[in-house]
């Protein structure tokens, strides 16, 4: 297929070691690598003054939280921002809050119907449904601290509560799991929604960002190029799914091996859910016939 994506798999880091990526932006990588988290979850510490912001505490890993606190030193953490409430980004929060007394900021879980245990593409519970931010943020809200400001950009799709954060006018966007350089985002219903995801990608087009700092993996240079490639990739994937269905491969479990070659067996579930996400989006737009039953991997699909 001609939808080769310009992935960048290299990443210079050492677990627990703060690395300055831009003025006032330091990344610390947690040691929780997996097919879903790549090398691990990225925590960013923002600011050059005495009061810092932390974006995504990462997992509940003592060594990781200690590494964040060591870097912070005698300075204060005024805010802990959350890109989205998946546990690989939020589980370290209680320990970090206990040590810093920071206030939390994020969108929060406002959509109850999504994100149950059974829907995890990794097969385990991964949504922190109890997170209620001290400072709720919606699209366009600006959070200001000691010499820094972060503007929230509502970007649902991977998660219903996903925010990206733009750093002042520095051209830096903390893109969370919405746009990453090492792989495509997992969009797995009912937690994920393909229509939302594509609209939220579209929203990034035309922005002046120079670099994205994602939730996993290295910096994304030329982010506009990657966003465009992801949009094209999704259009091609959608077409490939429609072609499968028209050619009689009309069950998700038959479609997955056609469009995902050499799939890591640990990712079959995520791939199936991703196909379902496309099917939902095609159905919403009247390109597939709605089915009477809830969508599943075994249900036959028919085109209009």
Nearest distance from C-beta of residue 57 to Zn ion, angstroms: 12
Q: If binding is defined by CB under 5 A, does position 88 make contact with Zn ion? A: yes
Q: If binding is defined by CB under 5 A, does position 191 make contact with Zn ion? A: no
Decide if 244 contacts 267 (C-beta within 8 A): no
Taking the least distance from each CB to Zn ion, the nearer of 88 and 196 is: 88
Nearest distance from C-beta of residue 91 to Zn ion, angstroms: 11
Q: If binding is defined by CB under 5 A, does position 177 make contact with Zn ion? A: yes
Q: Considering only the stretches 7-15, 71-79, 80-88, 182-190, report the one whose residues sit in contact with Zn ion under the rule CB under 5 A.
A: 80-88
Contact positions with Zn ion (CB under 5 A) in 198-257:
215
Nearest distance from C-beta of residue 179 to Zn ion, angstroms: 12
Taking the least distance from each CB to Zn ion, the nearer of 186 and 194 is: 186
- Cis amide prior to 190 (ω within 30 degrees): yes
Taking the least distance from each CB to Zn ion, the nearer of 177 and 209 is: 177
Q: Considering only the stretches 87-95, 206-214, 253-261, 288-296, report the one whose residues sit in contact with Zn ion under the rule CB under 5 A.
A: 87-95
Nearest distance from C-beta of residue 158 to Zn ion, angstroms: 8
Nearest distance from C-beta of residue 167 to Zn ion, angstroms: 20
Decide if 44 contacts 232 (C-beta within 8 A): no
Q: If binding is defined by CB under 5 A, does position 91 make contact with Zn ion? A: no
35: buried, middle or exposed (CB in 10 Å: 19+, 13-18, 0-12)?
middle
Q: If binding is defined by CB under 5 A, does position 128 make contact with Zn ion? A: no
Supply angle C-alpha 35, 40, 42, rounded to 5.
135
Taking the least distance from each CB to Zn ion, the nearer of 106 and 215 is: 215
Count of residues touching Zn ion (by CB under 5 A): 3
Q: Considering only the stretches 84-92, 157-165, 229-237, 259-267, report the one whose residues sit in contact with Zn ion under the rule CB under 5 A.
A: 84-92
Nearest distance from C-beta of residue 84 to Zn ion, angstroms: 8
Nearest distance from C-beta of residue 130 to Zn ion, angstroms: 18
Residue 32 in tokens: 């929780």
Q: Which residues contact 234 (CB under 8 A, 6 or more apart)?
A: 194, 197, 198, 201, 278
Q: Considering only the stretches 2-10, 49-57, 172-180, 274-282, report the one whose residues sit in contact with Zn ion under the rule CB under 5 A.
A: 172-180
Taking the least distance from each CB to Zn ion, the nearer of 88 and 191 is: 88
Q: Using CB under 5 A, list all residues that contact Zn ion.
A: 88, 177, 215
């Amino acid at each position: 297929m001609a939808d080769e994506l310009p992935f960048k798999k290299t990443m210079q880091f050492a677990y627990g070691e703060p690395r300055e990526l831009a003025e006032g932006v330091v990344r610390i990588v947690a040691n929780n690598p997996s097919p879903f988290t790549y090398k691990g979850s990225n925590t960013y510490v923002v600011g050059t003054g005495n009061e810092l912001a932390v974006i995504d505490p990462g997992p509940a890993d003592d060594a990781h939280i200690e590494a964040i606190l060591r870097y912070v030193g005698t300075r204060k953490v005024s805010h802990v921002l959350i890109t989205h409430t998946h546990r690989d980004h939020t589980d370290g929060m209680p320990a970090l809050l206990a040590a810093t007394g920071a206030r939390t900021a994020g969108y929060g879980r406002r959509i109850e119907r999504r994100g149950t245990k059974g829907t995890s593409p990794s097969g385990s519970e991964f949504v922190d449904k109890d997170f209620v931010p001290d400072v709720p943020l919606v699209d366009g809200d600006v959070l200001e601290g000691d010499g820094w400001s972060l503007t929230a950009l509502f970007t649902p799709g991977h998660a219903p509560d996903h925010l990206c954060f733009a750093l002042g006018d520095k051209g830096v966007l903390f893109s969370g799991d919405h746009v990453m350089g090492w792989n495509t985002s997992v969009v797995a219903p009912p937690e994920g929604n393909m229509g939302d995801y594509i609209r939220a990608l579209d929203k990034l087009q035309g922005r002046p960002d120079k670099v994205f700092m994602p939730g996993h993996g290295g910096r994304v240079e030329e982010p506009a190029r990657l966003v465009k490639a992801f949009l094209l990739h999704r259009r091609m994937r959608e077409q490939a799914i429609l072609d499968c269905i028209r050619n009689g491969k009309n069950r998700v479990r038959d479609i997955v091996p056609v469009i995902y070659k050499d799939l890591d067996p640990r990712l079959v579930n995520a791939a199936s859910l991703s196909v379902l996400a496309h099917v939902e989006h095609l159905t919403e737009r009247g390109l597939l016939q709605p089915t009477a039953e809830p969508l599943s991997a075994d249900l036959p699909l028919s085109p209009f």
